[in-house]
Amino acid sequence: MNVLGFESSCDETGVALVATMPGGPPRLRAEALHSQAAMHEAYGGVVPELASRDHIRRVLPLTRRVLAEAGATLAEVDLVAYTRGPGLAGALLVGAGVAVALGAALGRPVLGVHHLEGHLLSPFLGEKPPRFPFVALLVSGGHTQLMRVEGVGRYELLGETIDDAAGEAFDKSAKLLGLGYPGGPALAALAEQGDEGAFALPRPLLHSGDLDFSFAGLKTAVMTQLRKLGPAPSDAARADLAASTQAAIVEVLVAKTLKAVRASGLARLVVAGGVGANRRLRAALDAGVRRLGAEVSYPPMALCTDNGAMIALAAAMRVEAGLEQGTDAGAFDVRPRWPLQEQSAPAGA
């Protein structure tokens, strides 16, 4: 089965062609991605209307590129998938509209996919795909969640952020430090030059006894430290504050994640989402998981950010699990707010 996937939930336009065969691992035939980071940088964050308009400009050229690189034609597509939510409403409508129109033209079924499910399953496109069941850390700009995953469509929420996501903490702290957009990678790069013990920043909810997260207070603490440094902090002080901020975020993520793994009784962890590309986080999780005698899987670095491959893959895996067959092209909707638990299969399925 060849699945053509479209991702347009925020500020990246992604298109990919994924092939699956019964009994074999999924294969990424080709993918293309356009990031709008340069366009939004002048505004310090994503401008929804600009994002939607740019998706319109990019999606068809990217589709042609994917098909050319895969050596495929539209006639070979068996299923068209798109991100139904969560995300920016206008941006989601672009991908949904293109997918539904293409499905109607080809006479192929169309399937709307949950964005977070795409991230969750993206490690199955890696060199060492995980095995069910596992604990998953979904960590991105808009989401920080711990899930117990028994199989495709079988998700139990263990804990989540009660305010800012980890990616938001990275981005907002980077903005306070005067770094560019997107802020997370910029802060991580600056942190490599600093001393992570230079500033005593809080570790919110570290000892709360549950698996929930909170990062809004950390952002406030970074702001307070910057005010103490004065209007023109030195490059060294900014690097130290970046390193201290990253260390605080990573410590909380790692502590809660390892606690979830221990409590679950499972020996497998999956980490997905844009923040999952952070090298400091990966190193700390790798070390912690080894101490537990468990194993950890990540998506390929190129698939940590939003991309069409994860959407095509999630659609294919839901179809193969018997949870979806796709619908005839026609009326459609998008869900800017959509809890992942609503994608769970009924008990016993």
Q: What is the pLDDT of residue 95?
A: 98
The CATH number of domain 132-298, selected from 3.30.420.40, 2.40.128.20, 1.10.645.10, 3.40.50.1220: 3.30.420.40
Mean pLDDT of the 309-337 span? 90
Residue 346: which pLDDT band, with cuts at 50, 70 and 90?
low
Q: What is the pLDDT of residue 127?
A: 86
Dihedral sign from CA coordinates of 33, 31, 139, 226? negative
Q: What is the pLDDT of residue 22?
A: 83
Q: What is the pLDDT of residue 42?
A: 87
The model's pLDDT over 52-81, given as tens digits with 9 standing for 90+, comes to 999 999 999 999 999 999 999 999 999 999
Q: What is the pLDDT of residue 58?
A: 98
Using the predicted structure, report yes or no on whether residue 31 has a pLDDT greater than 90: yes
Q: What is the pLDDT of residue 228?
A: 96
Query: Could you tell me the CA-to-CA distances from 196 to 190, 205, 241, 291 in Å, in that order?
Result: 11, 20, 7, 23
Name the helix (H) or strand (E) containing 339.
none
Q: Domain ranges for the chain, please list them.
A: 2-122+303-343, 132-298
Residue 330: which pLDDT band, with cuts at 50, 70 and 90?
confident
Which of 2-6, 37-41, 178-182, 200-204 is the least confident region? 178-182
Same topology, domains 2-122+303-343 and 132-298? Answer is: yes
Residue 150 dihedral angles phi and psi, to the nearest 5°:
-90, -25
Using the predicted structure, report yes or no on whether residue 303 has a pLDDT greater than 90: yes
Residue 348: which pLDDT band, with cuts at 50, 70 and 90?
low
Report the amino acid identity of residue 316: A
Using the predicted structure, report yes or no on whether residue 345 has a pLDDT greater than 70: no
Mean pLDDT of the 224-246 span? 97
Mean pLDDT of the 14-40 span? 94
Percent of the chain with pLDDT over 90: 89
Q: 99 Cβ partners below 8 Å, 6+ apart?
A: 4, 6, 80, 81, 82, 110
**69 touches 30 (CB < 8 A):** yes
Mean pLDDT of the 33-60 span? 95
Q: What is the pLDDT of residue 232?
A: 92
Dihedral sign from CA coordinates of 263, 268, 272, 277? positive
The model's pLDDT over 98-141, given as tens digits with 9 standing for 90+, comes to 999 999 999 999 999 999 999 999 999 998 899 999 999 999 98
DSSP class per residue in 103-170: HHHHT--EEEEEHHHHHHHGGGGSSS---SSEEEEEESSS-EEEEEEEETTEEEEEEEBSSS-HHHHH
Mean pLDDT of the 180-195 span? 94
Class of 2-122+303-343 in CATH? alpha beta
Using the predicted structure, report yes or no on whether residue 259 has a pLDDT greater than 80: yes
Report the chain's mean pLDDT, rounded to a whole number.
95
Rg (CA), the chain: 20
Mean pLDDT of the 233-241 span? 97
Residue 343: which pLDDT band, with cuts at 50, 70 and 90?
confident
Using the predicted structure, report yes or no on whether residue 329 has a pLDDT greater than 80: no
Using the predicted structure, report yes or no on whether residue 46 has a pLDDT greater than 60: yes
